[in-house]
Amino acid sequence: MKRVSVDIGGTFTDCFVVWGQQYIETKALTTHHNLAMGFNEALGKACKTLGLELEEILGEVDSVRYATTLGTNALIEHKGPKIGMLVTAGYEATVPLSRARGYGEGLDNMGQQDMPNAQRPDPLVEPHMIYGVRERLDFQGNLVMPLDEEDVRRQLRGLVDRGAQIIVVALVNSVVNPAHEQRIEEIVLEEYPSHLLGAIPVILSHQVAGRKGEYVRATSAIVDGYLHSTMYHALSALEQNLRAHKYEKPMLVIHNSGGMAQLNSTDALQTIHSGPVSGIGASEHLSLQAALGNVVATDMGGTSYDIGIVVEGGIKHYDFNPVIDRWLVSVPMVHLVTLGAGGGSIASYDRMYKTVKCGPESAGSDPGPACYDRGGMRPTVTDADLLLGYLDAENYAGGSIPLNPRRAKAAIEDALCDELDCSVIEAAKLVREKVDDNMANGLFTELRARGYDPKDFTMLAYGGNGPLHCCGIAQNLSIDKILAPPLSSVFSAVGAGNMHQLHIHEQSLYMVLYDSNTRHIFDDYDRFNAIVAELKEKGTQDLLRQGVPLDQIRHDLELDMRYGNQLVQTTAVIPAHEVHGPGDVLAIISQFSNDYGKRFGEGSQAPEAGIRINTIRVAAYAKHETVQFEDIKPLPKPARKAPPAPQSHRTCHFVGHDGAFETPVWARSAIEPGVEIEGPAIVASEVTTFLVNPGWTYVAAKQGASWFLRNEAPVTRH
Amino acid sequence: MNEMTIRGKLPSAEEITLIKKFLDDTTLFLGPDPEIMQNHDIMPRTAIEDAAIAQVSDAHTVAKIRDRIQAGCDEGYEMVEQMGAAPGAKWGDVITGVYSASGDLAIASAGGVLIFSALVHHPIKFIIKNWMNDPTVGVKEGDGFIHNDSRYGNVHNTDQSMIIPIFHKGKLVCWVASTVHEGENGAIEPGGMPSMAESPSDEGLKMSPFKVVENYQIKRDILTFLQNSVREPKLQYEDMKVKLFACLRIKQRIEETLNSDGPEALMATLRLTMENVRAEVKRRISEWPDMTVRTYIIQDSTLRENCVVKINCKLTKTGDRLIFDFRGSSPEFTNRATNTIVAGLKGMLAQVFLCYVWPDLPRGQAAFAPIEVITDPHSIVNCSYDAPNSQSLMSIFTGFTAGQHAVAKFLYSCPEKFTKVHAPTFNMINTFIWGGVSQHGETLGNLCADLNGMGAGATANRDGEHALAPIFATMADIGEQELNEEEVPFLQLVSKKMTRDAIAPGKYRGGQGYTMMVATKDSEQWGFMTTAQGAKIPPIQGLFGGYACGTYPLSKVKNVDVYDVLMNQPEKFRHSIEEIMNEQPFEEASYSTHHMGMGFEISKRGELFMISQGAGAGYGDLLERDPVSVIKDIEEGLMSPEVAARLYKVVFDPKTLAIDFDATEAARAAERQARIARSVPYAEFIKGWNQPKPPAHLQYFGCWGDDVGTLYMGSADVTRRGDQPRPNYMMHPKDVRIAELEARLEAVGAMGNEKK
């Protein structure tokens, strides 16, 4: 297999090239003004390794795939066109009011609780650019008030006169009857034909999101409209660059649904967070190939701790209403949780409880931790890690950031030692313990809320600070296996290299499988089958349009279901895609009951209150050949090798252990696969530090993978 | 017992014992216990807690365990919010928490409704005191207790709690509870908050704490009884189960801590958490300036009739004591539902501090524990057992605002601020409560989540946010109409459109409210009610020169099927109350306005009911508002140009909205001069303004002037002493109307032979 996959992040463009049996990881700085330059540089490094020209590689690879955080950055930077919006009259304030709670979406708990400081983010559409049009449909799509076309034309002109560069249309109940939205699009084309220079793009909400919820669908359409032009130009430039270098196949773009599609089948909203989602995709792929079972993927960087779940059996965890930046939207996105904990998290004295608190405030990278010596005065997790002996002050981040221990010491002394009446080392240990506890609690809640027990999981630890903190976190969770994955420095790009082409189509509906009032069991099989067939057809057409042969197209059917009038919708994966009798209906009910019981506790099911389907979803996909990892499982103990002599020793301190440990230090490059090292130990690479706590064993595996194995059965704490 | 006398003499000790035994043996029933209900402080340390703290008191260990339990509470909260069937559960009108063995709420979920944090401990203490050692009840592993009667500790009886004890090796170590605003409770009106209730008997289910779960199973016989007692048996069933499973999930977390760290660590953590928070609150209070602030809020109805009801508040800080004195507030209404138990008032005052003063404090009972509250007995803010209180929100919300308004004056002068100084938030539940049979044939009773869209008060440096949150919760949701319409047979024809000129101006204006217009469509058995005050007198006050909000009446259009209009003559429909009521576009229809206490009313298809959510208060002098902000408000449909020009003295071209800054400055200077010209010396003002008694034409309730010891009871001639309760009955509004009509008939000699 020959393939190029890329993750374009805010700082680095990561590139992963598969060239037969060779796997090459490269990086270059992201060039925001022209993404192709960073891409070419990163790929150029791979060319050098392979001794080939850019055109030779691009002419032979089966695909080039992109994951990118560009959309997220554009949202944060608030760079987008002036949007004009048409909504159902009487709903003009729906978006500005953001369901009331919009002030706190994307904020931490403190930001959500502090009401006098509550402030909605700057809007993507100014309130005076939202006009109502006279029309109305009911929940079944029946006409309540006909569309007043003259009114539409009048409002449209008003928006254009006010400078609208793009029109977003979001009408109530348009997902069950899109006729009015479609007619408005026609009117826009009549008024501003596409062949004229004054043509205006139109985004229809029902085409962006298929679910009910007029606010979340409207914000989805807005975000999509807001990013459309930025993403289109950036990704088109990349495609042009590929064409210029002899790549003649379609460029593939990673979606936040965990799949990918060609550029012409991608809308901007689907690209948001595709980088981190690719990381979870890589975890899933690794889990399958290495038979890891359940995996919790954790990415700890400087400011955040991202968590994703991959479980056996193929159950996907989606957020159907994820928060993107500060906006609640409606798009099926691979579930990803971000906690405010990282190396830059600031530690302070908790006056009330007479202990240490840590985060969510972060020193970020500027000024960064006190030890960066860039003006940061407040102690951070990285300062604590440095004082505890884990970091090499002269070779941190490959030597690019010299660390100043005196600054770290002074910051911890000033902020913590006097108040806590303890030594610097004791205070640093408290900081370390606190941040690990915070992450463990977040991870625990995340898994438990979905009905999983952390001890049934292998933790994947990546990101700059992941392997440095993973033992401390796992210790709190009774997890006894941690894998720092292979190819971890370009892990998201690796994930992009393993995605399948995927399109998700869904329909909101009110379908009662069991009516508790009449005790009637659903029997409108034709309706169910017709909807499923239509959704399958949509997905099929998407893939056919991209040249996927019909016989390679597969479909998965998922139903979002609930008991009575609950908020929660539990997703049941249904193997049979058609129903033809009560047995099929009861099988669906049974599947739902099993999944619900696993999540909320056996016996918590309440079928007596009625059972409904709220959404039917079909994932249409075509599988591609995937990257084969080598056998990365740790060798059995007798087969493991002793390490070479350590390069040096450092004085380290560990939470839960008194006194100092003279801790051996190795360079990761000096450790061969199969080597076993007893903790406490440090294995350092250019991009991270593998800290092996006392009670843990480090085992090196192939392709740069590293295992942390707990020596004894864990004491159950959670 | 010490005051007991027999024939004028003190009984002997032996006699006292005998009498006490007789009285104990012949208790008719166990009503709310004043000893429990009047106390909001945390219980004294027990010997077991002392021993536990002697073993485990390391602050870092305690913090670690606390964080873990906090995560458990949050997990339970998320379960209730996700699994709950009640709309209240979905918008976060929920709390989950861990209570000490003595019943104090030590750690509560980070999300949810804070008022519960000061209320749910009462029923647990009742269980401890009365059922623990009762051979017919008892408390054992696997039990669960249900409760909703606010007289035993609750906001109102639409909230239901599930309470389970946690044992370790046979010993009670703590309690876990989960509380949800359920809505329907079988009262005389659907939706759980009847304003028609004239006695507690009209208020539906009144569950004192009783056992409903054994061996972690809900008892089917009791469940059946409860389902039969409400209009939504499905909801009753679903949510009892949800609350139980949320409690069980938290229990798991606690058991894991018990196994790893031991019961002493758990008990020490719960106790020290409360003590630390309490001490911190005392410390923070001590930094406030020593002074007294007086304020009041007026309720303009009982939800049945227009009247003037005073909530009187004096806030005094001295040393590390902070004392809310609500004496002088209206007497309780013997047959109106707007009374509250004092614990409800305290719960909302706790909310002032936890969300608007010290949002960094952890949630729990201890945050309000050291703050003192004084009230008159049998007053509207401390009602008696026999007074209905299903509409207690009217008094606890206005009490909240009185507190919020007074506290702002302290915060202004406080050296260390934990958030911004701000004007009061809008405080009324301007929403539609609904009930009947849905288009799917289901019997429903509940309310629109729009109550969560209360406008925020302006702050010291910016405008208030529109429709931000209810005063009782954060991160609450006003929902999605597309989802609501799937379940209920009415449409919000206007759902979220800013109500023009419904403002609270100021240098920084309050966050504004929005219009709601509803009309039943697909059911012949459907109706609405509204339960709010503020249709005639604003229920909040402005701050430092900012104005209060406007007033928000209910408007109705009857004798019309608006759905016919929308289909056949759509051009006639208007999307604002202002236009519909002023232009009256539907011929033959009748148009009317009302106060916001509409009793449950069956609505015919296509009749319009229209209300507006309210604005938060303004901050600072209007003449200091940036003219550019004034124009922005006009552009965004918040104000009409005429009102903007009149209030803010901004001069602009009404067509282009271009500001004439020089003319504006001149207009403002002239207004400042006019203010001086209008003003009079204070003594002169008092002389002309003060009246010795309330006006005779108003039904006025509460103290008048400086004499807070005398409470007026609807007339200038009828009073009571604050500390001497008297019944305070109101006539049925229909009887009042009949009497008026009969008087008119009699005056024109048309009574005929009919006797009065």
Instruction: Please give the average per-residue pLDDT across A547-558, as a whole number.
Output: 93
CATH no. for A501-622: 3.30.1490
A606 vs B74, B78, B241: nearest CB: B241
CA atoms within 13 A on the CB side of A505: 19
Rounded Cα gap, residues B177 and B98, in angstroms:
7
Q: Which fold has domain A2-74+232-273?
A: Nucleotidyltransferase; domain 5 (3.30.420)
SS3 B423: coil
Q: Is B245 on the interface with A (CB under 8 A)?
A: yes
Question: Which pLDDT tens digit goes with each residue over B548-562?
Answer: 999 999 999 999 999
Mean pLDDT, rounded, of chain B: 94
Cα–Cα nearest to A124, from A274, A275, A230: A230
CATH no. for A79-227: 3.40.50
Which residues share a beta bridge with B108?
B97
| Total domains present in chain B | 1
Q: Is A568 on the interface with B (CB under 8 A)?
A: yes
Chain B CB contacts of A175 below 8 Å: 482
**What is the residue type of A529?**
N
Q: What proportion of chain B, given as a percentage, has pLDDT over 70? A: 99
- Tell me how many residue pairs between chain A and chain B have CB atoms under 8 A apart: 261
The residue with tokens 């206005």 is: B398
What are A497's two structure tokens? 């290299």
Pick the residue from chain A with its C-alpha nearest to B420.
Answer: A116
Distance from CA of A648 to the nearest CA of B (A): 33
Pick the residue from chain A with its C-alpha nearest to B635.
Answer: A128
All structural domains of chain A with their residue ranges: 2-74+232-273, 79-227, 501-622, 637-710
Same CATH fold assignment for domains A2-74+232-273 and A501-622: no
Contact A116 B83 (CB under 8 A): no
Q: What proportion of chain B, given as a percentage, has pLDDT over 90? A: 81
The helix (H) or strand (E) run that includes residue A169 is: strand A166-170
Rounded Cα gap, residues A136 and B485, in angstroms:
13
Chain B CB contacts of A566 below 8 Å: 82-85, 238
The residue with tokens 């796992």 is: A474
Higher pLDDT, A713 or A85: A85
pLDDT band at A75 (very low <50, low <70, confident <90, very high): confident
Rounded Cα gap, residues A239 and A252, in angstroms:
9
Question: Which pLDDT tens digit goes with each residue over A213-236?
Answer: 999 999 999 999 999 888 888 888
Chain B CB contacts of A138 below 8 Å: 485, 491, 521
Q: In a mutagenesis test of the A interface, which of B465, B472, B520 is the best target, namely the one with the most A β-carbons within 10 Å?
A: B465
Q: Is B585 on the interface with A (CB under 8 A)?
A: no
Cα–Cα nearest to A507, from A173, A18, A241: A173
Contact B573 A117 (CB under 8 A): no
Question: Which pLDDT tens digit goes with each residue over B731-752?
Answer: 999 999 999 999 999 999 887 7
Residues 130-169, chain A: which have Cβ within 8 Å of B?
Answer: 132, 134, 136, 138-139, 143-146, 148
Q: What is the CA radius of gyration of chain A?
A: 27
Distance between start and end Cα atoms, chain B: 51
Q: Beta A648-652 vs A611-622: how paired, if at all?
A: unpaired
Question: Which pLDDT tens digit goes with each residue over B408-419?
Answer: 999 998 888 999
User: Is B308 part of any domain?
Assistant: no
pLDDT of A716 over the 70 cut: no
pTM of the full predicted structure? 0.91
Rounded Cα gap, residues B300 and B308, in angstroms:
5
Angle between helix axes B233-261 and B220-228 (nearest 10 degrees) is 140
pLDDT band at A713 (very low <50, low <70, confident <90, very high): low
CB A541 within 8 A of CB A620: no
Quick one: pLDDT at residue B1? Answer: 41
A567 vs B82, B234, B459: nearest CB: B82
Q: In a mutagenesis test of the A interface, which of B79, B474, B571, B577 is the best target, namely the one with the most A β-carbons within 10 Å?
A: B474
Distance from CA of B639 to the nearest CA of A (A): 13
User: Is B165 part of any domain?
Assistant: yes
Quick one: pLDDT at residue A314? Answer: 66
Helical segments of B107-232, H only: 121-126, 220-228
Residues 437-496, chain A: which have Cβ within 8 Å of B?
Answer: 437-438, 441-442, 444-445, 448-449
B469 vs A115, A215, A354: nearest CB: A115
Quick one: pLDDT at residue B611? Answer: 98
Chain B CB contacts of A99 below 8 Å: 477-480
pLDDT of A66 over the 80 cut: yes
In order of A96, B80, B172, B189, B328, the CA distances from B153 in angstroms are: 38, 21, 22, 22, 24
CA atoms within 13 A on the CB side of A668: 22
Sign of torsion, CA A115 A119 A121 A124?
A: positive
Question: Which pLDDT tens digit goes with each residue over A276-325?
Answer: 899 999 999 899 888 899 999 999 887 788 899 998 876 678 888 899 98
Instruction: Please give the average per-residue pLDDT across A513-531, as a whole number.
Output: 94
Quick one: pLDDT at residue A717? Answer: 40
pLDDT of A714 over the 70 cut: no
Contact A718 B68 (CB under 8 A): yes
Residues 89-118, chain A: which have Cβ within 8 Å of B?
Answer: 89-94, 96-97, 99-101, 103-104, 109-110, 112-118
Cα–Cα nearest to B601, from B299, B182, B191: B191
pLDDT of B632 over the 90 cut: yes
Instruction: Please give the average per-residue pLDDT across B153-178, as a whole number.
Output: 95
Question: Which pLDDT tens digit goes with each residue over B427-474?
Answer: 999 999 999 999 988 888 788 989 999 999 999 999 999 999 999 888
Rounded Cα gap, residues A480 and A455, in angstroms:
7
Distance between start and end Cα atoms, chain A: 45
pLDDT band at B651 (very low <50, low <70, confident <90, very high): very high
Contact B234 A352 (CB under 8 A): no
Cα–Cα nearest to A171, from A128, A197, A204, A202: A204
Question: Which pLDDT tens digit goes with each residue over B211-248?
Answer: 999 999 999 999 999 999 998 898 899 999 999 999 99
Contact A100 B575 (CB under 8 A): no
Question: Cβ atoms within 10 A of the Cβ of A523, count?
Answer: 12
Q: Is B258 on the interface with A (CB under 8 A)?
A: no
Higher pLDDT, B449 or B266: B266
Chain B CB contacts of A101 below 8 Å: 452, 469, 475-477
What are A621's two structure tokens? 């996909």
Interface confidence, given as ipTM, is 0.92
Question: Which pLDDT tens digit goes with each residue over A77-131?
Answer: 888 899 999 999 999 999 999 999 999 999 988 888 899 999 999 999 999 999 9
